[in-house]
A and B are shown apart, each in its own frame.
Chain A
Amino acid sequence: MKGMVFTEFLELVEDRFGLEDADAIIEASGSEHGGSYTAVGNYDYKEMVHMVVALSERSGIAIEDLLHVFGEHLFTVFHRKYGNFFEGVESAIEFLGSIEDTIHVEVRKLYPDAELPSFAYPERSDTRLIMDYQSTRPLAHFAYGLINGCVKHFGAPLKVEMQDLSDGAGTHARFTLEQAAA
């Protein structure tokens, strides 16, 4: 997993929970790097999972909720750092519908070693989008947060629903986005 995800996560934890909690989850996760992550490095995603679990235990907040909040936050970071991906895009449905064929293609050009989830689109129109998420990693709630971050960014009223298709494992999920009734 890209180092930027780790550095952003720890910054968010420090900002929302404080330096002590950030330090504690690094210690608890038993990171082989001792928690020294650089944005340009690559690290085992399990280190992230251990930190999220540790934060959940420490804060009493469900893992799914933590992943969701982090996903929403990371979307704003992506938008700030990779603004060119959003040029000419006018809606969340347009952007999210282009992830598999455009965004991920460009991401692979920048980071050939990136391990990305895949998205299938069984249904799409200007007002409704169904996205099927599939990954070897249990990060569907993180994807949910990213999708919600995107919807918030574009501002149009869209209802987003997530249906786990992997018996709660978080590796396969369906997201349905629908324009909310006016």
Chain B
Amino acid sequence: MSDELADAEKRIALLERKLNRERSAREEAEGLLEQKSLELFSRNQALGRSNAELEQFAYVASHDLQAPLRSISSFSQLLARNERDNLSEDGQEFLGLINESVVQMRQLIQDLLAFSRVQRDEIPDTPVPLAEVLADVRSRLRAAVDEDGAQIEVGDMPTVIGHSGQLTQLFQNLVGNGLKFCRDGVAPAVKVTAKCSGGKAIIRVEDNGIGIAPEHHQRVFEMFKRLHTQEEYEGTGIGLALCRKIVDRHNGDMDLESVPGEGTTFILTLPLA
């Protein structure tokens, strides 16, 4: 009996020591967690400041580049109009190239400014009927539709919470991409549909274009990421980065499904009004 008692006492002492070790370990883990939380908070603040400065810089730089670009554009147009006869054939060709570059640069600056504005603008708590947004987008893209014999089909659209201007920009980019990245000999067709689930609107923007290879599915959302040359498809590589930024600012999600040679579907989730 005394042996059993001694064993039990020994076992209790072992368990007590184990519990003490576990308690100390837990206290140490809590201390480390607190320390890491403080570090994370401090790094987040620094990152926030750095991001704000970078955005401010991008905005100011893009904005200030417009004035000299306007001068280059004006003077090259004056040259083309008033001095064409004095220019050699090469000179005229170079002037044409300058004008093409000016157009590209203007587009790039406008896209950069749009990207900066998305970050700067507050997202209001306003209901935005997506039917109206898509009607606006359809109207803005009428020229492209008429030119290519394209079709834009829009299903029943819900009302979401957000920034009307940014949402218009979002759908204009997505539908516009569907029209732009079309296959040879196939009239572009873009279909926009929506369903609602769990307080969210799930919107699909589906095209019948060239599609995106699986290895590029995430890369296309990166800034300045272009999968084609300027000669193949014009663009600045900012469009989808801008789309993702707008969706992020609306506390939404954005993903894509695509089969090369068949088409691409962008799937957006936005908060319902």
Residues of A within 8 A of B (CB): 7, 19-20, 22-23, 26, 33-41
Q: How far is the CB of B162 from chain A (nearest CB, A)?
A: 33
Residues of B within 8 A of A20 (CB): 10, 14
Q: B25 touches which one: A19, A23, A38 (CB < 8 A)?
A: A38
Cβ contact within 8 Å between A40 and B22: no
Compute how far the CA of A18 lies from the CA of B18 in the bound complex, rounded to whole angstroms.
Answer: 12
Bound-state CA distance A36–B29 (Å) is 10
Residues from chain B with a CB closer than 8 A to the CB of A39 are: 29
A113 vs B10: C-alpha distance when bound (angstroms): 40
- In whole angstroms, how far apart are the Cα atoms of A19 and B15 in the complex? 8
Which residues of B84-142 are within 8 A (CB) of A? none
Top 8 A-B residue pairs of the complex, sorted by shortest distance between their CB atoms:
A36-B24, A38-B29, A36-B21, A38-B25, A36-B25, A38-B28, A35-B21, A19-B14
Residues from chain A with Cβ under 8 Å of B26 in the complex: 38
Instruction: Give the distance to chain A from B21, nearest Cβ to Cβ, in Å.
Output: 4
Instruction: Tell me if A41 and B28 are in contact (CB < 8 A).
Output: yes
Instruction: Determine which residue in A7, A20, A26, A36 has the highest number of CB atoms from chain B within 10 A of its CB, and name it.
Output: A36
- What residues of chain A lie closer than 8 Å to B20, measured between beta carbons? 34, 36
| Cα-based distance from A132 to B24 in the complex (angstroms) | 39
Distance (whole angstroms) from the CB of B34 to the closest CB of chain A: 12
Judge whether A19 and B21 touch: CB under 8 Å: no
Contact pattern, B 4-21, Cβ under 8 Å of A = 1, otherwise 0: 000000110011011011
Question: How close is B173's CB to chain A, nearest CB, in angstroms?
Answer: 32
Q: Of B15, B28, B32, which one neighbours A36 at CB under 8 angstroms?
A: B28
Kindly identify, within residues 1 to 56 of chain B, every residue whose CB is under 8 Å from any CB belonging to chain A: 10-11, 14-15, 17-18, 20-26, 28-29, 32-33
* Bound CA span A55–B187, Å: 76
| B22: chain A residues within 8 A (beta carbon) | 36
A36 to chain B, nearest CB (A): 3
Which A residues are in CB contact (< 8 Å) with B10? 20
- Within 8 Å CB of A35, what residues of B? 21
Closest to A33 in B: B24
**Complex interface residues of chain B between 144 and 159 (CB less than 8 A to chain A):** none
Expressed in whole angstroms, the Cα–Cα distance for A39 and B28 within the complex equals 10
Residue of A whose beta carbon sits closest to that of B15? A19
In the bound complex, what is the Cα–Cα distance between A55 and B17 (angstroms)? 18
Contact assessment for B18 and A41 in the assembled complex, using a CB-CB cutoff below 8 Å: no
Cα distance A21–B36 in the bound complex, in angstroms: 34
Q: How far is the CB of B13 from chain A (nearest CB, A)?
A: 9
Closest chain B CB from A156 CB (angstroms): 28
Cβ of A57 to closest chain B Cβ, rounded Å: 19
**A19 to B22 CA separation, bound complex (whole angstroms):** 13
Contact at A19–B32, with CB atoms within 8 Å? no
How far, in Å, is B149 (CB) from chain A's closest CB? 43
Instruction: Report which residue of B10, B15, B18 has the largest number of chain A beta carbons within 10 angstroms of its beta carbon.
Output: B18
Whether the pair B17, A23 counts as a contact (CB closer than 8 A) is yes
B33 contacts across to A, CB distance below 8 A: 40
B15 touches A34 (CB 8 A): no
Q: Which among A26, A37, A41 is the interface contact of B32 at CB below 8 angstroms?
A: A41
Return the chain A residue nearest B17 by Cβ: A23
Residues A34 and B14 in contact, CB atoms below 8 Å apart: no
Q: Which chain A positions have C-beta within 8 A of B25?
A: 7, 36-38, 41
Which residues of chain B come closer than 8 Å to A26, judged between CB atoms?
21
Given known pairs A33-B24, A34-B24, A36-B24, the reply for A41 and B29 (CB within 8 Å) is yes
Give, as a whole number of angstroms, the nearest-CB distance from B10 to chain A: 8
Bound-complex Cα distance A170 to B153 (A): 69
What are 14 A-B contacts defined by CB distance under 8 Å?
Answer: A19-B11, A19-B14, A19-B18, A20-B10, A20-B14, A34-B21, A36-B20, A36-B21, A37-B25, A38-B28, A39-B29, A40-B32, A41-B28, A41-B32
